[in-house]
Structure 1
Amino acid sequence: MTFVAAIEHFAQPALKPFGRYLNYGVGDPHRREERAAALLNFVSLATVFSNTGFAVIFLLLGPVRYLPFVAALLAFSLVWLATPLLHRFGTLAAGTYLWATAAVGLSAYALIAGADAGLQYFLLAGPGILIMILGSGRLGLASMYFSVYLVVFAAIELAFPRQSTIMPMPESVATFTFILSVSMSAIINFIAAFYTFRRAEASEDALEAEHERSERLLLNLMPASIAVRLKQRPDEIIADDLPAVTILFADIVGFTPRAARLPADRLVSFLNRIFSEFDRLAAEHGLEKIKTIGDAYMVAGGLPEKQEGHARAVAGIALDMLEVTAALSRELGEEIAVRIGIHSGPAVAGVIGSRKLFYDVWGDTVNTAARMEQYGQAGRIQVSHEARQAIGEGYSFEERGMVLIKGKGRMKLHFLTGRAEAFDSASNPAAA
């Protein structure tokens, strides 16, 4: 067990009963102001523990003889115990209250017990804790508080009686009190520093986890190279002319009546199951998922960077999509069919939006690919003649002939039917 882990192992159970006190007035523990409030609560609790410990020791040494000191210790314990109540007026108010009452209390202790008891050395724990709570942004205020503490410390050392006339203390007891005061001052400073940096590290861990989550979300919205460009040059308009890409649209046949009869959770689960498989296939073939539109799935090859064999990679994923939906049909006991369309050609891609960024592709190639899907057949892959030529060898086709396509006129179309037997089916089309 490491030293830090050992401290946490023993400290956490000890502090657990005081959790409500430590978190009083603290909202989000990862915010800087909230961490300062939490540290203030911790310091006030540590001060109360220290005070109470001194009170118990002096009660044991002589309840009557040291009654003025014990009474002062218990009184200021109640004063410091109220520190978290000041959070309603802001962290600065609670901090000022604690520092001011600490200066008064330690001065009173030194007056009652004498300067030789060394209780004023608790003041030297204050400056470090001040910076921990106020932060570097309030260095001027921290310096002012620090100066006040130094003046109070110097005044006690130079002007207060070494031996008290209010509560005479034997030299051995004064020496013991001095050693205990210096030791407790150092311990409080150490624990406060540990508590501060442990909370800061927890916030950093949470920030790193959130950053990683944001990175994953960003990569789900757009290709990695586009995400890098966006982060490096956030004000740049990202728009690329792509001379050759291949676009695929896949649409679930009969989805509308299915949506009408399925409850929302089952419908979303159904879509998620299919599209998650399509996402896996897109990654395997080195393609970019662009978006889903209702029950339609859009994937592209040849972007954002040029990609050799992008048309063959798209042909490969199209065939795998048919296999996946066939397997899901057997698993779920109901027919699931997709209608797939593919077209190749030039396009424009870029990032749009200011709050919800989105990587998209535009152009006639996209529109034509959508038409290939719309005018296709259930369970089949329809490709344009341009896509057929781009795919090239390694796949088998069935010629459909000339078909009248809305907005395009008569087009020569084909059905992609499988991988050619003579071609090495074990090779990865994405790597071609």
Structure 2
Amino acid sequence: MSTEKVLIVGAGCFGLSTAFHLLKRGYVDVTVIDRSNVLPAPDAASTDLNKIVRTSYSDIFYARFAKEAIDVWKDEKEWDDAYHECGVLVLNPGDHAYTGSSYQNDISLGSRLTNLEGGSSIGGVFPPGVQTAFPSTTSGYLNQDGGWAYAAKGVSLLMSKVIALGGQVMAGKPVKRLVRKDGVTSGVECVDGTVLSADIVVIATGSWTSATFSELDLSTMCLATGQSVATIQLTTKEAERYRKCPVVLDFKSGFYVFPPNEDGIVKMAIHAAGYTNVPQSSIPSELTPDRTISTPRTSQSHGDEGLLIPKEMVQVLRNHLEEVYPELARKPFGGTRLCWYLDTPDEDWVIGPHPDDPSLFFATGGSGHAYKFLPVVGRLVADSIQGKLDPSLQAKFAINRKNATQTHSRFPYEVKPLEVAQLCTPADLLP
């Protein structure tokens, strides 16, 4: 049992998983706070319709860790039906080093793979009656050991587990600043003036990290980027026809699309560099020459306008959808969303202590691929807090690491500034 008081800032994937694993290890004073008045936070990346659960990684660490996560997801007594194992269809695996290495790692893990060559062969893995339009030159493989997770449900289930284990979860507590004494963090001050003390503070604030803790100067390691998402509402009959489709993932274009969820909604997105948003208050000036911090623009900060994506991305999504599901490409988009990631330069997470402050820990930097690890990622953070994290992982996830060159899952990697005047309108969502 540990009586250390732990305060976790952020009730998303990293924060709740960390709380869960600390409580399971005997920590008796664990509190999670979040800026949102509603939990799970509606605009958090971890609160979404669905997230891909895959082992297809070029880095064998993530491939193995994903396999561990899937084994946990499959326990329906713990996770109900949050995980749906429909298979993940990975397209064009030989086109890039990332996908080629991912394929080899899937083989080494003993994943159930089916190699596919040509558009008609790939179309054969879809249910009868589902029309596809893959070019004849397309290749791929179906990994049956994967699928998707109902994201918001997974977070809600984990939050319930944390509370059941004795953890506190507090909504509506945006943080104003860290409270520090002699350079050591002793808690946080919230925007409402509340001061919460702790022996250990864990920053798990996702894409709000750099903006919330600007005094830590994290912007070179942690960049908030908005990723373009669109949805289509199917009829009951259409949803039944498409429901048993695999997740389709094309790393070459970044496009991916899910089968319909229980409400008949099909979600699609682009796994790309995304867009940055620098508010007027964060634009450099003579007084703050280095203050350029990308900050999420969401439904909570900008209402319905915070859901809009660049109109150029609406067309990109529709063009890619036409090659997968031409029938659906002729339907209007029902909605859009900018899903905000916290990207690191090498796509590795940020987990571990501040180099000059042993009471301050990080659990963030998901880089668009953390959610699938929801049941297990907190184990790494708990290991770090207890001084048990493997030295190779300490170096891999350190906040002050020198970013080694590695193969990125998103290419080409070219972040664009978000231009409000170029966001989509209702007319742009029509076919």
Query: Structure 2 length as normaliser, TM-score?
Result: 0.19
Bigger strand fraction: 2
Larger Rg computed on CA atoms = 1
